[in-house]
Amino acid sequence: MMILPMLLLALVPTIMIEFVVLLLLRERRRLVLGSSVVINILTNIPLNLYVVYVDSSVMTIIMGELLVVAVEAFWYYLFIRILSRAFIYSFLCNAISFLTGLLVQLLMAYFQFNRI
């Protein structure tokens, strides 16, 4: 798969999922919602490039996700100025988008393996 479609396939659903999570957390400030798009572009693309081209081990993915949670929590803190809420936003957004992506990959592998 070419790199741009692969990056977009990871980035676009992540942005959509995390946007919905923020709305479910009752975040309505346009600045915060818009900033979530920016920070996802800044964190999702480099992490996916690193995983694809350098190291795709489980440990690398876990450490990368933890780094992303920390960076995004700091980013949200810049806008909302409440550290605990910034970490909650970052952790929940990233956990739900990561688990959704994992579920999609498992379902795709299952259906590919069980073709008739």
pLDDT in tens, 5-25: 999 999 999 999 999 999 999
Tokens of 74: 């700091």
Return the domain boundaries, the chain: 3-113
Distance CA 56, CA 47 (A): 10
Query: By CB neighbour count within 10 A (0-12 exposed, 13-18 middle, 19+ buried), where does 108 fall?
Result: exposed
Listed residue (47, 87, 96, 50) closest to 69, CA to CA: 87
Look-up of token digits 């688990």: 99
**pLDDT average, residue stretch 25-50:** 98
pLDDT in tens, 59-95: 999 999 999 999 999 999 999 999 999 999 999 999 9
Q: What are phi and psi of 83, to 5 degrees?
A: -60, -45
Asked if 10 and 44 touch (Cβ cutoff 8 Å), the reply is yes
Given this model, what pLDDT does residue 115 score? Answer: 82
pTM of the model: 0.93
**pLDDT band at 1; cut points 50, 70, 90:** low
